[in-house]
Amino acid sequence: MSLSTALSIAQSALLATSKQTSVVSRNVADASNTDYARRVAVVTSTAPGARSVEIQRATNDLLFRQNLSALSASSGQSALYAGMDQLDLSVNGVDNASSASTAIANLQQALQLYATTPSNQNLGANVIDAAKQAVRSLNDGTTAIQDFRTQTDSQIATAVSDLNSLLGQFQDTNKAVISGTRSGTDVSDALDQRDAILKKIAEYVPISTFTRGDNDMVITTTDGTTLFETVPRSVTFTPSSGYSAGAAGSRVYIDNVPLSAGSGDNTTAVGKLAGMIKLRDSVASTMQSQLDEIARGLITAFAETAPAQPDAAGLFTWSGAPSIPPAGTLVDGLAGSISVNAAFDPSAGGNPALLRDGGANGLAYVSNTAGAASYSDLLIAYSDRLDQPMAFDTSAGITITSGVSDYAANAIGWFEGVRQQASTNADAKEALATRTAEALSNDTGVNVDQEMSLLLDLEHTYQASARMMKTVDDMLDALLGAVG
Protein backbone atom coordinates (compact mmCIF):
# COMPACT_ATOMS: atom_id res chain seq x y z
CA MET A 1 0.00 0.00 0.00
CA SER A 2 1.41 3.38 -0.92
CA LEU A 3 1.73 6.12 1.67
CA SER A 4 -0.69 8.34 -0.27
CA THR A 5 -3.31 5.57 -0.24
CA ALA A 6 -2.81 5.03 3.48
CA LEU A 7 -3.17 8.78 4.09
CA SER A 8 -6.37 8.85 2.03
CA ILE A 9 -7.81 5.94 4.00
CA ALA A 10 -7.00 7.64 7.30
CA GLN A 11 -8.57 10.91 6.16
CA SER A 12 -11.68 9.05 4.97
CA ALA A 13 -11.92 7.29 8.32
CA LEU A 14 -11.63 10.58 10.21
CA LEU A 15 -14.32 12.17 8.07
CA ALA A 16 -16.66 9.19 8.54
CA THR A 17 -16.05 9.17 12.28
CA SER A 18 -16.74 12.90 12.42
CA LYS A 19 -20.09 12.42 10.70
CA GLN A 20 -20.97 9.52 12.97
CA THR A 21 -20.07 11.55 16.04
CA SER A 22 -22.25 14.40 14.80
CA VAL A 23 -25.21 12.05 14.38
CA VAL A 24 -24.76 10.49 17.83
CA SER A 25 -24.39 13.92 19.43
CA ARG A 26 -27.62 15.02 17.76
CA ASN A 27 -29.34 11.90 19.12
CA VAL A 28 -28.23 12.74 22.66
CA ALA A 29 -29.29 16.38 22.31
CA ASP A 30 -32.81 15.40 21.19
CA ALA A 31 -33.27 12.43 23.52
CA SER A 32 -36.12 14.17 25.36
CA ASN A 33 -37.96 15.14 22.17
CA THR A 34 -40.87 12.70 21.80
CA ASP A 35 -41.16 13.54 18.09
CA TYR A 36 -37.53 12.76 17.33
CA ALA A 37 -36.57 9.41 15.77
CA ARG A 38 -33.11 8.06 16.36
CA ARG A 39 -30.60 8.52 13.54
CA VAL A 40 -28.16 5.80 12.61
CA ALA A 41 -24.96 6.62 10.67
CA VAL A 42 -24.30 3.62 8.44
CA VAL A 43 -20.72 3.43 7.14
CA THR A 44 -20.08 1.85 3.75
CA SER A 45 -16.55 0.97 2.71
CA THR A 46 -15.37 1.05 -0.89
CA ALA A 47 -12.03 0.23 -2.48
CA PRO A 48 -9.39 1.18 -1.77
CA GLY A 49 -10.56 1.74 1.84
CA ALA A 50 -12.66 4.87 1.34
CA ARG A 51 -15.71 5.26 3.54
CA SER A 52 -19.06 6.94 3.01
CA VAL A 53 -21.74 7.62 5.63
CA GLU A 54 -25.47 7.23 5.04
CA ILE A 55 -27.83 8.56 7.68
CA GLN A 56 -30.85 6.31 8.31
CA ARG A 57 -33.83 7.14 10.46
CA ALA A 58 -35.30 4.57 12.85
CA THR A 59 -38.91 3.72 11.98
CA ASN A 60 -41.60 1.21 12.90
CA ASP A 61 -44.65 1.71 10.71
CA LEU A 62 -46.80 -0.80 12.60
CA LEU A 63 -46.22 0.77 16.01
CA PHE A 64 -46.66 4.26 14.58
CA ARG A 65 -50.04 3.35 13.07
CA GLN A 66 -51.13 1.78 16.35
CA ASN A 67 -50.11 4.93 18.20
CA LEU A 68 -52.08 7.12 15.79
CA SER A 69 -55.15 4.93 16.29
CA ALA A 70 -54.77 4.99 20.08
CA LEU A 71 -54.34 8.78 20.08
CA SER A 72 -57.59 9.21 18.13
CA ALA A 73 -59.53 6.89 20.44
CA SER A 74 -58.15 8.52 23.59
CA SER A 75 -58.80 12.04 22.32
CA GLY A 76 -62.42 11.27 21.44
CA GLN A 77 -63.17 9.57 24.76
CA SER A 78 -61.42 12.29 26.79
CA ALA A 79 -63.41 15.01 25.02
CA LEU A 80 -66.61 13.12 25.79
CA TYR A 81 -65.81 12.64 29.48
CA ALA A 82 -64.59 16.21 30.04
CA GLY A 83 -67.76 17.57 28.46
CA MET A 84 -69.92 15.34 30.65
CA ASP A 85 -68.27 16.70 33.78
CA GLN A 86 -69.00 20.25 32.71
CA LEU A 87 -72.57 19.40 31.69
CA ASP A 88 -73.34 17.65 34.97
CA LEU A 89 -72.14 20.60 37.06
CA SER A 90 -74.03 23.12 34.91
CA VAL A 91 -77.35 21.29 35.02
CA ASN A 92 -77.42 19.40 38.32
CA GLY A 93 -75.00 21.42 40.43
CA VAL A 94 -72.70 20.14 43.16
CA ASP A 95 -74.07 16.90 44.65
CA ASN A 96 -77.21 17.33 42.48
CA ALA A 97 -78.30 20.29 44.61
CA SER A 98 -79.94 22.09 41.68
CA SER A 99 -81.30 19.01 39.93
CA ALA A 100 -84.96 18.48 39.07
CA SER A 101 -84.94 15.34 41.22
CA THR A 102 -83.97 17.29 44.34
CA ALA A 103 -86.53 20.00 43.61
CA ILE A 104 -89.33 17.46 43.11
CA ALA A 105 -88.40 15.70 46.34
CA ASN A 106 -88.66 19.04 48.18
CA LEU A 107 -92.00 19.72 46.48
CA GLN A 108 -93.39 16.36 47.53
CA GLN A 109 -92.23 16.93 51.09
CA ALA A 110 -93.88 20.38 51.20
CA LEU A 111 -97.06 18.92 49.73
CA GLN A 112 -97.21 16.17 52.34
CA LEU A 113 -96.67 18.69 55.12
CA TYR A 114 -99.48 20.86 53.77
CA ALA A 115 -101.74 17.80 53.66
CA THR A 116 -101.28 17.31 57.41
CA THR A 117 -102.61 20.84 58.11
CA PRO A 118 -104.66 21.92 55.08
CA SER A 119 -106.01 24.99 56.91
CA ASN A 120 -102.52 26.52 57.20
CA GLN A 121 -102.13 28.68 54.12
CA ASN A 122 -98.52 29.41 54.98
CA LEU A 123 -97.85 25.76 54.27
CA GLY A 124 -99.76 26.17 51.01
CA ALA A 125 -97.51 29.09 50.08
CA ASN A 126 -94.50 26.87 50.83
CA VAL A 127 -95.78 24.34 48.32
CA ILE A 128 -96.00 27.09 45.69
CA ASP A 129 -92.45 28.16 46.49
CA ALA A 130 -91.27 24.54 46.13
CA ALA A 131 -93.12 24.32 42.81
CA LYS A 132 -91.35 27.48 41.65
CA GLN A 133 -88.03 25.89 42.55
CA ALA A 134 -88.91 22.82 40.49
CA VAL A 135 -89.80 25.06 37.57
CA ARG A 136 -86.60 27.06 38.03
CA SER A 137 -84.56 23.85 38.00
CA LEU A 138 -86.13 22.76 34.72
CA ASN A 139 -85.89 26.23 33.13
CA ASP A 140 -82.28 26.75 34.21
CA GLY A 141 -81.36 23.20 33.22
CA THR A 142 -82.70 23.80 29.72
CA THR A 143 -80.76 27.07 29.46
CA ALA A 144 -77.58 25.38 30.69
CA ILE A 145 -77.91 22.50 28.21
CA GLN A 146 -78.52 24.74 25.22
CA ASP A 147 -75.71 27.08 26.27
CA PHE A 148 -73.47 24.02 26.53
CA ARG A 149 -74.46 22.93 23.03
CA THR A 150 -73.69 26.41 21.72
CA GLN A 151 -70.29 26.43 23.46
CA THR A 152 -69.52 22.97 22.10
CA ASP A 153 -70.48 24.23 18.66
CA SER A 154 -67.92 27.00 19.02
CA GLN A 155 -65.29 24.48 20.14
CA ILE A 156 -66.06 22.33 17.10
CA ALA A 157 -65.57 25.36 14.86
CA THR A 158 -62.20 26.07 16.52
CA ALA A 159 -61.15 22.44 16.15
CA VAL A 160 -62.07 22.45 12.46
CA SER A 161 -59.98 25.60 11.97
CA ASP A 162 -57.05 23.97 13.80
CA LEU A 163 -57.37 20.84 11.69
CA ASN A 164 -57.30 22.83 8.45
CA SER A 165 -54.22 24.65 9.72
CA LEU A 166 -52.49 21.35 10.51
CA LEU A 167 -53.28 20.05 7.04
CA GLY A 168 -51.69 23.20 5.59
CA GLN A 169 -48.57 22.60 7.70
CA PHE A 170 -48.54 18.98 6.59
CA GLN A 171 -48.58 20.06 2.96
CA ASP A 172 -45.48 22.24 3.46
CA THR A 173 -43.62 19.49 5.31
CA ASN A 174 -44.63 16.84 2.78
CA LYS A 175 -43.26 19.01 -0.01
CA ALA A 176 -39.95 19.30 1.85
CA VAL A 177 -39.79 15.51 2.22
CA ILE A 178 -40.50 14.95 -1.49
CA SER A 179 -37.98 17.58 -2.58
CA GLY A 180 -35.24 16.23 -0.30
CA THR A 181 -35.90 12.65 -1.36
CA ARG A 182 -35.59 13.54 -5.04
CA SER A 183 -32.36 15.47 -4.49
CA GLY A 184 -30.88 12.74 -2.31
CA THR A 185 -30.42 14.91 0.79
CA ASP A 186 -31.15 13.83 4.34
CA VAL A 187 -34.88 14.34 5.06
CA SER A 188 -34.91 12.94 8.59
CA ASP A 189 -35.83 16.27 10.20
CA ALA A 190 -38.70 16.80 7.74
CA LEU A 191 -39.93 13.26 8.39
CA ASP A 192 -39.88 13.90 12.15
CA GLN A 193 -41.88 17.06 11.63
CA ARG A 194 -44.34 15.29 9.34
CA ASP A 195 -44.92 12.48 11.85
CA ALA A 196 -45.43 15.03 14.64
CA ILE A 197 -48.12 16.76 12.59
CA LEU A 198 -49.75 13.39 11.87
CA LYS A 199 -50.06 12.78 15.62
CA LYS A 200 -51.80 16.12 16.07
CA ILE A 201 -54.15 15.44 13.16
CA ALA A 202 -54.99 12.04 14.67
CA GLU A 203 -56.21 13.76 17.82
CA TYR A 204 -58.95 15.43 15.78
CA VAL A 205 -59.96 12.64 13.39
CA PRO A 206 -59.00 8.96 12.99
CA ILE A 207 -56.56 8.60 10.09
CA SER A 208 -54.84 6.06 7.88
CA THR A 209 -51.80 6.81 5.74
CA PHE A 210 -49.87 5.28 2.85
CA THR A 211 -46.68 6.42 1.18
CA ARG A 212 -46.13 6.72 -2.56
CA GLY A 213 -43.00 7.36 -4.57
CA ASP A 214 -40.52 10.00 -3.34
CA ASN A 215 -41.91 9.56 0.20
CA ASP A 216 -45.11 11.36 -0.81
CA MET A 217 -47.79 10.60 1.80
CA VAL A 218 -51.57 10.38 1.44
CA ILE A 219 -53.92 10.72 4.44
CA THR A 220 -57.43 9.33 4.63
CA THR A 221 -59.85 8.93 7.49
CA THR A 222 -60.32 5.35 8.68
CA ASP A 223 -63.62 5.17 6.82
CA GLY A 224 -61.87 6.04 3.55
CA THR A 225 -62.52 9.77 3.15
CA THR A 226 -59.52 11.52 1.63
CA LEU A 227 -58.03 14.10 3.98
CA PHE A 228 -54.82 14.90 2.10
CA GLU A 229 -53.54 13.93 -1.33
CA THR A 230 -51.01 16.37 -2.78
CA VAL A 231 -53.15 19.15 -1.36
CA PRO A 232 -55.37 19.26 1.77
CA ARG A 233 -59.03 18.43 1.38
CA SER A 234 -61.46 20.97 2.80
CA VAL A 235 -62.86 20.42 6.30
CA THR A 236 -65.97 22.56 6.74
CA PHE A 237 -68.42 23.37 9.50
CA THR A 238 -71.10 26.02 9.93
CA PRO A 239 -71.56 26.90 13.62
CA SER A 240 -74.92 27.94 15.07
CA SER A 241 -75.38 31.21 16.94
CA GLY A 242 -77.62 29.43 19.46
CA TYR A 243 -79.59 26.26 20.12
CA SER A 244 -83.09 25.38 21.23
CA ALA A 245 -84.39 22.04 22.46
CA GLY A 246 -84.77 19.55 19.63
CA ALA A 247 -82.70 21.60 17.18
CA ALA A 248 -80.21 19.52 15.20
CA GLY A 249 -76.58 20.56 15.11
CA SER A 250 -74.58 21.24 11.96
CA ARG A 251 -72.44 18.45 10.55
CA VAL A 252 -68.70 18.50 10.03
CA TYR A 253 -67.77 17.67 6.44
CA ILE A 254 -64.44 16.33 5.21
CA ASP A 255 -64.20 16.64 1.45
CA ASN A 256 -68.01 16.98 1.47
CA VAL A 257 -68.43 13.71 3.41
CA PRO A 258 -70.10 14.05 6.86
CA LEU A 259 -68.02 13.01 9.86
CA SER A 260 -69.57 10.26 11.99
CA ALA A 261 -70.15 11.00 15.69
CA GLY A 262 -70.02 7.37 16.79
CA SER A 263 -72.25 5.72 19.37
CA GLY A 264 -72.18 4.16 22.83
CA ASP A 265 -70.60 5.19 26.13
CA ASN A 266 -67.46 3.28 25.15
CA THR A 267 -67.73 5.57 22.22
CA THR A 268 -66.85 4.73 18.65
CA ALA A 269 -66.49 8.51 18.32
CA VAL A 270 -62.78 8.52 17.51
CA GLY A 271 -61.03 11.89 17.61
CA LYS A 272 -62.06 14.97 19.55
CA LEU A 273 -64.26 16.29 16.72
CA ALA A 274 -66.48 13.21 16.80
CA GLY A 275 -66.45 13.25 20.61
CA MET A 276 -67.70 16.84 20.71
CA ILE A 277 -70.38 16.10 18.12
CA LYS A 278 -71.60 13.19 20.25
CA LEU A 279 -71.70 15.46 23.29
CA ARG A 280 -73.69 18.13 21.49
CA ASP A 281 -76.13 15.95 19.58
CA SER A 282 -76.46 12.82 21.72
CA VAL A 283 -75.60 13.27 25.41
CA ALA A 284 -76.83 16.85 25.82
CA SER A 285 -79.89 16.30 23.63
CA THR A 286 -80.90 13.17 25.57
CA MET A 287 -80.47 15.04 28.83
CA GLN A 288 -82.73 17.79 27.48
CA SER A 289 -85.35 15.26 26.43
CA GLN A 290 -85.38 13.83 29.94
CA LEU A 291 -85.95 17.29 31.43
CA ASP A 292 -88.80 17.81 28.95
CA GLU A 293 -90.35 14.51 30.01
CA ILE A 294 -90.03 15.47 33.69
CA ALA A 295 -91.81 18.73 32.93
CA ARG A 296 -94.57 16.85 31.12
CA GLY A 297 -94.84 14.47 34.07
CA LEU A 298 -95.28 17.36 36.53
CA ILE A 299 -97.98 19.00 34.41
CA THR A 300 -99.79 15.66 34.17
CA ALA A 301 -99.41 14.78 37.87
CA PHE A 302 -100.88 18.11 39.00
CA ALA A 303 -103.59 18.32 36.35
CA GLU A 304 -107.11 19.11 37.59
CA THR A 305 -109.66 16.42 36.85
CA ALA A 306 -113.46 16.41 36.90
CA PRO A 307 -116.24 14.03 35.81
CA ALA A 308 -117.15 14.47 32.13
CA GLN A 309 -114.45 17.14 31.78
CA PRO A 310 -111.05 16.93 30.06
CA ASP A 311 -108.01 17.02 32.30
CA ALA A 312 -106.75 20.59 32.61
CA ALA A 313 -103.38 22.08 33.59
CA GLY A 314 -103.32 22.83 37.30
CA LEU A 315 -100.36 23.90 39.45
CA PHE A 316 -97.97 23.60 36.49
CA THR A 317 -98.89 25.07 33.15
CA TRP A 318 -97.47 25.44 29.66
CA SER A 319 -98.10 27.10 26.30
CA GLY A 320 -100.75 24.53 25.35
CA ALA A 321 -102.85 25.08 28.51
CA PRO A 322 -105.52 24.47 29.63
CA SER A 323 -105.09 21.06 27.95
CA ILE A 324 -102.25 18.84 29.15
CA PRO A 325 -99.51 17.41 26.90
CA PRO A 326 -100.34 14.11 25.20
CA ALA A 327 -99.41 11.03 27.23
CA GLY A 328 -96.15 9.27 26.44
CA THR A 329 -95.09 11.84 23.85
CA LEU A 330 -92.01 14.04 24.10
CA VAL A 331 -92.62 17.78 23.75
CA ASP A 332 -89.34 19.44 22.77
CA GLY A 333 -88.49 22.45 24.95
CA LEU A 334 -91.25 21.88 27.50
CA ALA A 335 -88.78 22.07 30.41
CA GLY A 336 -87.79 25.54 29.26
CA SER A 337 -91.34 26.86 29.06
CA ILE A 338 -93.09 25.18 32.02
CA SER A 339 -94.26 27.62 34.70
CA VAL A 340 -96.30 27.80 37.88
CA ASN A 341 -99.95 28.63 37.20
CA ALA A 342 -100.56 32.24 38.24
CA ALA A 343 -103.95 31.19 39.68
CA PHE A 344 -102.05 29.43 42.51
CA ASP A 345 -99.25 31.97 43.00
CA PRO A 346 -99.90 34.53 45.76
CA SER A 347 -97.17 36.81 44.40
CA ALA A 348 -99.17 37.02 41.16
CA GLY A 349 -102.51 37.52 42.91
CA GLY A 350 -103.34 33.81 42.98
CA ASN A 351 -104.65 31.65 45.81
CA PRO A 352 -102.64 28.66 47.13
CA ALA A 353 -105.89 27.24 48.55
CA LEU A 354 -106.86 26.21 45.03
CA LEU A 355 -104.28 23.47 45.40
CA ARG A 356 -106.26 22.11 48.36
CA ASP A 357 -109.74 22.72 46.96
CA GLY A 358 -109.38 22.59 43.18
CA GLY A 359 -111.20 24.90 40.78
CA ALA A 360 -108.41 26.78 39.02
CA ASN A 361 -110.11 25.83 35.74
CA GLY A 362 -113.67 26.60 36.87
CA LEU A 363 -116.31 25.36 39.26
CA ALA A 364 -116.57 22.00 37.52
CA TYR A 365 -113.07 21.19 38.81
CA VAL A 366 -113.75 22.06 42.47
CA SER A 367 -113.02 19.01 44.62
CA ASN A 368 -113.68 20.49 48.08
CA THR A 369 -117.31 21.37 47.36
CA ALA A 370 -118.11 21.80 51.06
CA GLY A 371 -115.26 24.27 51.56
CA ALA A 372 -113.88 22.32 54.53
CA ALA A 373 -110.68 23.86 55.91
CA SER A 374 -109.31 20.43 56.84
CA TYR A 375 -109.92 18.88 53.41
CA SER A 376 -106.76 17.04 52.32
CA ASP A 377 -107.90 14.44 49.80
CA LEU A 378 -106.71 16.42 46.78
CA LEU A 379 -103.34 17.22 48.35
CA ILE A 380 -102.78 13.54 49.15
CA ALA A 381 -103.83 12.62 45.62
CA TYR A 382 -101.28 15.03 44.11
CA SER A 383 -98.52 13.58 46.28
CA ASP A 384 -99.52 10.04 45.29
CA ARG A 385 -99.54 10.96 41.58
CA LEU A 386 -95.87 11.89 41.76
CA ASP A 387 -95.18 8.22 42.50
CA GLN A 388 -97.78 6.66 40.21
CA PRO A 389 -96.34 5.06 37.03
CA MET A 390 -97.05 6.98 33.84
CA ALA A 391 -96.03 6.64 30.20
CA PHE A 392 -92.75 8.32 29.20
CA ASP A 393 -91.32 8.62 25.72
CA THR A 394 -88.59 5.97 25.34
CA SER A 395 -86.67 8.23 22.92
CA ALA A 396 -85.49 10.12 26.01
CA GLY A 397 -83.25 7.20 26.90
CA ILE A 398 -85.09 5.82 29.94
CA THR A 399 -87.33 2.83 29.34
CA ILE A 400 -88.27 2.02 32.95
CA THR A 401 -91.93 2.76 33.75
CA SER A 402 -92.16 4.91 36.87
CA GLY A 403 -93.70 7.95 38.49
CA VAL A 404 -92.31 11.39 37.70
CA SER A 405 -90.43 11.50 41.01
CA ASP A 406 -88.60 8.25 40.24
CA TYR A 407 -88.13 9.27 36.63
CA ALA A 408 -86.25 12.39 37.73
CA ALA A 409 -84.03 10.24 39.95
CA ASN A 410 -83.54 7.75 37.10
CA ALA A 411 -82.44 10.64 34.86
CA ILE A 412 -79.61 11.39 37.27
CA GLY A 413 -78.80 7.68 37.47
CA TRP A 414 -78.73 7.45 33.67
CA PHE A 415 -76.33 10.35 33.38
CA GLU A 416 -74.08 9.15 36.19
CA GLY A 417 -73.95 5.70 34.60
CA VAL A 418 -72.99 7.15 31.23
CA ARG A 419 -70.40 9.43 32.81
CA GLN A 420 -68.87 6.62 34.87
CA GLN A 421 -68.58 4.43 31.80
CA ALA A 422 -67.03 7.31 29.88
CA SER A 423 -64.54 7.86 32.71
CA THR A 424 -63.52 4.19 32.79
CA ASN A 425 -63.10 4.07 29.03
CA ALA A 426 -61.21 7.37 28.97
CA ASP A 427 -58.69 5.94 31.44
CA ALA A 428 -58.35 2.72 29.46
CA LYS A 429 -57.87 4.46 26.13
CA GLU A 430 -55.45 6.99 27.58
CA ALA A 431 -53.43 4.09 28.99
CA LEU A 432 -53.39 2.44 25.56
CA ALA A 433 -52.18 5.67 23.94
CA THR A 434 -49.45 5.95 26.57
CA ARG A 435 -48.36 2.33 26.12
CA THR A 436 -48.18 2.56 22.34
CA ALA A 437 -46.23 5.81 22.62
CA GLU A 438 -43.80 4.14 25.00
CA ALA A 439 -43.42 1.12 22.71
CA LEU A 440 -42.77 3.40 19.75
CA SER A 441 -40.27 5.42 21.74
CA ASN A 442 -38.46 2.29 22.90
CA ASP A 443 -38.17 1.10 19.33
CA THR A 444 -37.36 4.34 17.51
CA GLY A 445 -36.39 6.79 20.24
CA VAL A 446 -33.00 7.55 21.75
CA ASN A 447 -31.37 5.55 24.54
CA VAL A 448 -28.86 7.96 26.03
CA ASP A 449 -26.78 5.21 27.65
CA GLN A 450 -26.48 3.42 24.34
CA GLU A 451 -25.55 6.62 22.51
CA MET A 452 -22.91 7.57 25.09
CA SER A 453 -21.36 4.11 24.77
CA LEU A 454 -21.30 4.57 21.01
CA LEU A 455 -19.57 7.93 21.46
CA LEU A 456 -16.80 6.23 23.39
CA ASP A 457 -16.36 3.69 20.58
CA LEU A 458 -16.21 6.50 18.05
CA GLU A 459 -13.63 8.29 20.14
CA HIS A 460 -11.44 5.20 20.04
CA THR A 461 -11.96 4.93 16.29
CA TYR A 462 -11.01 8.57 15.89
CA GLN A 463 -7.86 8.05 17.96
CA ALA A 464 -6.86 5.05 15.85
CA SER A 465 -7.34 7.02 12.62
CA ALA A 466 -5.39 9.93 14.07
CA ARG A 467 -2.52 7.64 15.02
CA MET A 468 -2.53 6.19 11.53
CA MET A 469 -2.30 9.66 10.03
CA LYS A 470 0.51 10.52 12.44
CA THR A 471 2.39 7.39 11.42
CA VAL A 472 1.95 8.14 7.71
CA ASP A 473 3.03 11.73 8.32
CA ASP A 474 6.16 10.55 10.13
CA MET A 475 6.96 8.14 7.28
CA LEU A 476 6.51 10.91 4.72
CA ASP A 477 8.78 13.20 6.72
CA ALA A 478 11.42 10.44 6.88
CA LEU A 479 11.11 9.81 3.17
CA LEU A 480 11.42 13.49 2.28
CA GLY A 481 14.40 13.75 4.64
CA ALA A 482 16.10 10.82 2.95
CA VAL A 483 15.52 12.29 -0.53
CA GLY A 484 16.83 15.66 0.60
C-alpha dihedral (442, 445, 446, 447), degrees to nearest 10: 0
As a whole number of angstroms, the distance between CA 264 and CA 275 comes to 11
Q: What's residue 39's pLDDT?
A: 84
CA neighbor of 393 nearest in space, from 317, 304, 294:
294
Read off the pLDDT of residues 114-150 as tens digits, 9 standing for 90 and up. 999 999 999 999 999 999 999 999 999 999 999 999 9
What residues pair up with 42 in beta bridges, in sequence order?
54
CA neighbor of 145 nearest in space, from 37, 287, 8:
287
Read off the pLDDT of residues 421-459 as tens digits, 9 standing for 90 and up. 999 999 999 999 999 999 998 888 887 777 677 767 656
Question: Which helix (H) or strand (E) covers residue 141, if one does?
Answer: helix 121-183
Q: What's residue 270's pLDDT?
A: 84
Confidence of residue 279 (pLDDT cuts 50, 70, 90): very high
Share above pLDDT 70 across residues of the chain, in percent, rounded to a whole number:
87
CA neighbor of 135 nearest in space, from 345, 427, 359:
345
